[in-house]
């Protein structure tokens, strides 16, 4: 059995190996334009824009749904899709008198690890998306003393044409990328504190400067149609955009200092947790849902900043749970699924719409395989009597209800977990309802559930 040593002594930094980028040669000759209007807007484009997500229900109960504008726990510094609320996460740990090591195997922007820090518990956050780990690290390091920084020097031997195949070349001219990369090099060579501040500032700046490439679907960003549509900025404009974001991120993180315990952040896979068996006391997490959100596509621009080009190399997309890409069926584990999961697969297989019995069935099977492999791993790494809190959202495939909460409860029970409590919250506008095609089929409102289970 895969049983590597426990990796959580001190703050484990996110994988810097992905922070390299390749540059090849291509020549583009364009005039310099001034800073786009979008760059002057205050908040960064928020994936929750227009999505109603109250922090409390009408009855006053605290909902896990992150409010549309949440500042608590630095959620506004880089709004991460499907993050739950910091206030709720802290409350959940306190309410259930959590003690020992807290794990989130789908840690996203690190709400769980930050909440654990806040209530004084050691924690481990794992995510396969390196963008998520940078944001989680920024939040975990808030309040750390930061080095000052100076504007980077222009690289001496600037071979502009080498930037034409940089992942950022989907939106920027090589001249503009050359300056962004001067900043990137400065940031990744810097020490504690400024590393995550600098990278998140770069994410924000790139997102703002490419706002015009966003469409109505918040998880898709277009690429420039031709070289004339690429964003071209002077060095001065790139510097101002990045410095403005550094100043914002620095101010927010200095204001927010709650470090009271150790956090380890690991770039890893929920299906292969790099943790010892029976080492975890509490799991607080929200897995990706069966809603066709592709986390790599949603963060294409931030991944490009880190040197990851998902259109040239879709490896990361294939690996993420809930991906819209389907892997070879040889890679599926042969789990026998419970009644709720099998029934849903049966309904999808029989649906008369195009591709239901082909692509969509395969994708749903793959999702359930990833989910159950994740629950297997959680069962392995958790101590007996460990507590697990899962935040999950039901959804619809066409007119078929996807009862994710029921599926999780059943699959966990098959692996030795007993249900202690379920809280349900109505989700009035979810991404399913934002998508017109899905709305046409939607029969009822979807619910978000918080499921609490005990091992053994």
Ligand X SMILES: C[S@@+](CC[C@H](N)C(=O)[O-])C[C@H]1O[C@@H](n2cnc3c(N)ncnc32)[C@H](O)[C@@H]1O
Residues at the interface with ligand X (CB under 6 A): 80, 82-84, 106, 108-109, 111, 126-129, 132, 269-271, 286, 288, 295, 319-321
Decide whether 357 or 435 has the Cβ nearer to ligand X. 435
Comparing CB distances to ligand X, the nearer of 111 and 262 is 111
In whole angstroms, the minimum distance from the beta carbon of 19 to ligand X comes to 17
Residue 426's H or E segment, with its range, is strand 417-427
Closer CB to ligand X, 125 or 403, in the complex: 125
Residues forming beta bridges with residue 266, ordered by sequence position: 126
E-only strand ranges, 286-374: none
Q: How far is the CB of 249 from ligand X (least distance, A)?
A: 17
Joined tokens for residue 315: 């490896």
Q: Which is nearer to ligand X, 115 or 238 (CB)?
A: 115
In angstroms, give the least distance from the CB of 201 to ligand X.
19
CB 376 to ligand X: min, Å: 13
Q: What angle do CA 23, 29, 30 make, to 5 degrees?
A: 115
Closest to ligand X by CB, 242 vs 321, is 321
Q: Which of 2, 5, 1, 11 is CA-nearest to residue 275?
A: 5
Minimum separation from the CB atom of position 275 to ligand X (A): 13
In the complex, which residue's CB is closest to ligand X?
108
- Cα gap 301→324, rounded to integer Å: 18
Report d(CA 51, CA 393) in Å as an integer: 15
Over its C-alpha atoms, the chain yields an Rg (Å, rounded) of 22
CA 272 to chain centre: 18
Nearer to ligand X, 84 or 248 (CB): 84
Cβ at position 272, least distance to ligand X in Å: 8
112 versus 347: smaller Cβ distance to ligand X: 112
Q: Can you list the positions of beta strands (E) in 89-197?
A: 102-104, 123-127
Residue 337 CA to residue 321 CA, distance in Å, equals 17
DSSP labels, 12-70: PPP-GGG---------------PPPGGGG-SSPP-TTTT----SB-TT-PBPSBPPSS-
Give the H/E segment covering residue 123.
Answer: strand 123-127
Q: From the CB of 371, what's the least distance to ligand X, in Å?
A: 10
Sign of CA dihedral 350, 356, 359, 365: negative
Residue that has been written with the tokens 């222009």 in this structure: 154
Tell me whether residue 268 or residue 338 sits nearer to ligand X (CB atom).
Answer: 268
Residues 81, 218: Cα–Cα separation, whole Å: 10
Which pair of structure tokens corresponds to residue 58? 């009408």
Nearer to ligand X, 84 or 417 (CB): 84
Find the shortest distance in angstroms from Cβ 427 to ligand X.
13
To ligand X, the closest distance from the beta carbon of 236 in angstroms equals 35
């Amino acid at each position: 059995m895969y049983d590597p040593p426990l990796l959580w002594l001190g703050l484990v930094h996110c994988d810097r190996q992905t922070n390299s980028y390749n540059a090849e040669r291509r020549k583009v000759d364009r005039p310099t334009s001034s800073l786009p209007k979008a760059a002057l807007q205050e908040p960064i484009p928020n994936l929750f824009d227009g999505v109603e997500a109250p922090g409390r229900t009408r009855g006053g109960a605290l909902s896990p749904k992150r409010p549309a504008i949440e500042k608590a726990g630095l959620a506004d510094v880089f709004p991460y899709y499907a993050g739950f609320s910091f206030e709720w996460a802290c409350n959940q740990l306190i309410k259930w008198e959590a003690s020992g090591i807290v794990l989130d195997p789908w840690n996203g922007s690190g709400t769980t690890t930050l909440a654990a820090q806040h209530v004084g518990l050691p924690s481990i956050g794992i995510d396969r998306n390196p963008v998520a780990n940078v944001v989680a690290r920024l939040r975990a390091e808030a309040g750390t003393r930061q080095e000052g920084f100076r504007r980077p020097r222009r690289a001496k031997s600037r071979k502009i044409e080498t930037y034409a195949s940089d992942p950022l070349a989907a939106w920027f001219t090589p001249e503009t990328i050359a300056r962004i990369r001067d900043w990137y090099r400065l940031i990744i060579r810097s020490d504690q504190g400024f590393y995550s501040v600098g990278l998140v500032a770069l994410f924000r700046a790139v997102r703002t400067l490419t706002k015009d490439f966003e469409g109505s679907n918040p998880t898709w960003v277009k690429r420039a149609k031709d070289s004339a549509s690429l964003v071209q900025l002077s060095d001065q404009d790139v510097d101002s955009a990045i410095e403005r974001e550094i100043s914002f991120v620095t101010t927010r993180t200095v204001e927010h200092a709650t470090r009271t315990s150790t956090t380890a952040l690991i770039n890893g896979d929920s299906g292969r947790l790099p943790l010892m068996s029976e080492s975890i006391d509490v799991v607080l997490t929200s897995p990706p849902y069966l809603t066709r959100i592709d986390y790599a596509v949603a963060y294409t621009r931030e991944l490009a900043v880190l040197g990851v080009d998902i259109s040239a190399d879709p490896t990361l997309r294939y690996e993420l749970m809930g991906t819209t890409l389907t892997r070879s069926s040889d890679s599926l584990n042969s789990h026998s699924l419970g009644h709720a999961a099998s029934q849903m697969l049966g309904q999808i297989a029989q649906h008369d719409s195009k591709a239901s019995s082909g692509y969509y069935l395969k994708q749903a099977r793959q999702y359930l395989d990833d989910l159950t492999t994740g629950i297997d791993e959680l069962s392995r790494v958790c101590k007996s009597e460990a507590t697990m809190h899962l935040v999950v959202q039901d959804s619809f495939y066409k007119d078929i209800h996807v009862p994710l909460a029921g599926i999780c409860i059943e699959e966990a029970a098959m692996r030795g977990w007993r249900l202690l409590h379920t809280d349900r919250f109505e989700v009035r506008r979810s991404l399913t309802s934002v998508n017109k095609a899905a709305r046409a089929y939607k029969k009822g409102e979807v619910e978000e559930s918080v499921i609490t289970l005990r091992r053994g």
